Homo-oligomer: A and B are copies of this chain.
Amino acid sequence: MVTRYLSVISLDDTLALLTREFSCMPACVDVPLEDATGRITAGPVFARYSVPEIHLSAMDGIAVVSAETKGASEQHPVTLPRAARVNTGNVVPPEYDAVIMIEDVWEKEGTYTIRKAAAPWQHVRPAGEDLAESEMVMPSSHRIRSHEIGALATYGITHPKVIAVRIGLVPTGSELVTAGTRPKPGQVVESNTVMAKAMLDAAGATCTRYPFVEDQPEKIRDAIARAVMENDIVIVSAGSSAGTKDYTAEVIAGLGEVLIHGVAIKPGKPVIIGRIDSKPVIGLPGYPLSALTVLREIVLPFLRNFGLFIPEPEIIRAQITTAIAKEVGSDEFVLCTLGKVGGRWVVSPQSKGAGVQMAGVRANAFLRIPRASEGFDAGSVVEALMMVPEEEVEGALIITGSHDPVIDYLANLIQPTGITVLSTHVGSMGGILALRKDECHAAPAHLLADDGSYNTTYIEKYLPGIAVDLLCIAERQQGIVSRDHLTFRDLPGRSFINRQKGSGTRMLLDHELKKAGIDSSAIPGYEREVTTHIAVALAVKSGEADAGMCVYSAAKALGLPFVPVASERYELAFRREHADDPRLVALIEAIRSPAFREILTRLGGYDTKETGQLRKGA
> Which residues of A are in contact with B by a Cβ distance under 8 Å?
33-34, 36-38, 44, 48-51, 53-55, 58, 60, 87-91, 94, 97, 120-121, 125-143, 145-158, 175, 179-180, 182-183, 185-186, 188-192, 194-199, 201-202, 241, 243-245, 286, 288, 291-292, 295-296, 307, 311-312, 314, 353, 355-358, 360-361, 387-392, 405, 408-409, 411-412, 415-416, 420-421, 527-530, 532, 534-535, 537-539, 542-544, 557-558
Contact B153 A194 (CB under 8 A): yes
Known contacts: A37-B198, A179-B158, A353-B129. The answer to whether A557 contacts B134 by CB under 8 A is yes
Q: Please state if A412 and B44 are interface contacts (CB–CB under 8 Å).
A: yes
Evaluate contact between B191 and A91: CB separation under 8 angstroms.
no
Given contacts A195-B149, A361-B148, contact A53 B185 (CB under 8 A): yes
Contact B532 A150 (CB under 8 A): no
Q: Give chain B residues whose Cβ lies under 8 Å from the Cβ of A132.
A: 532, 534-535, 537-538, 557-558
CA distance A292 to B390 in the complex (A): 25
Q: With contacts A132-B534, A141-B416, A153-B190 known, what are 6 further pairs, Cβ within 8 A?
A: A125-B353, A129-B353, A130-B355, A142-B415, A146-B195, A149-B195
Instruction: Out of B151, B158, B185, B244, name the residue touching A357 (CB < 8 Å).
Output: B151
| Given contacts A139-B415, A189-B156, A558-B133, A148 and B182 within 8 Å (CB-CB) | no
- A130 CB contact (under 8 Å) in B88, B202, B356: B356
Contacts of A542 in B (CB 8 A): 53-54, 127
Taking CB atoms, residues of chain B closer than 8 Å to A131 are 357-358
B528 touches A183 (CB 8 A): no
A150 is contacted by which of B60, B153, B288, B538 (Cβ under 8 Å)?
A: B288
Give the CA-CA distance A342 to B79 in the complex, in Å: 57
Q: Quick one: which of B147, B183, B409, B420 contacts A198, CB cutoff 8 A?
A: B147
Specify which of B53, B87, B120 is in contact with A243 (CB 8 Å cutoff): B87
Whether A412 lies near B202 (C-beta < 8 A) is no
A241: nearest chain-B partner, CB-CB: B88
Q: How far is the CB of A124 from chain B (nearest CB, A)?
A: 11
**How many whole Å from A36's CB to the nearest CB in chain B?**
8
Is A49 touching B182 in the complex (CB atoms < 8 A)?
A: yes
Min CB distance, A214 to chain B, in Å?
15
User: Quick check: B148 and A360 within 8 Å, CB to CB?
Assistant: yes
Give complex CA distance A531, B146 in Å: 29
A53 to B138, CA, bound (A): 54
In the docked arrangement, what's the CA distance between A314 and B405, Å?
36
6 tightest CB-CB pairs across the interface, nearest first?
A: A150-B195, A153-B179, A132-B534, A149-B198, A139-B412, A136-B408
Question: Of B120, B389, B557, which is within 8 A of A527 by CB?
Answer: B120
A60 and B243 within 8 A (CB): yes
Find out whether the CB atom of B150 lies under 8 angstroms from the CB atom of A192.
yes
Whether A191 contacts B412 in the complex (CB less than 8 A), given A54-B185, A530-B126, A538-B132, comes out as no
* Residue among A38, A158, A295 having the largest count of chain B Cβ atoms under 10 Å: A158
Among residues of B, the one whose C-beta sits closest to the C-beta of A287 is B88
How far apart sit A243 and B58, CA to CA, in the bound complex (Å)? Answer: 13
Q: How far is the CA of A87 from the CA of B192 in the complex (A)?
A: 19
A48 / chain B contacts, CB cutoff of 8 Å:
182
Task: For A295, list chain B residues within 8 Å (CB).
Answer: 147
What's the minimum C-beta distance from A559 to chain B, rounded to whole angstroms?
A: 10
Given contacts A408-B135, A544-B94, contact A416 B140 (CB under 8 A): yes
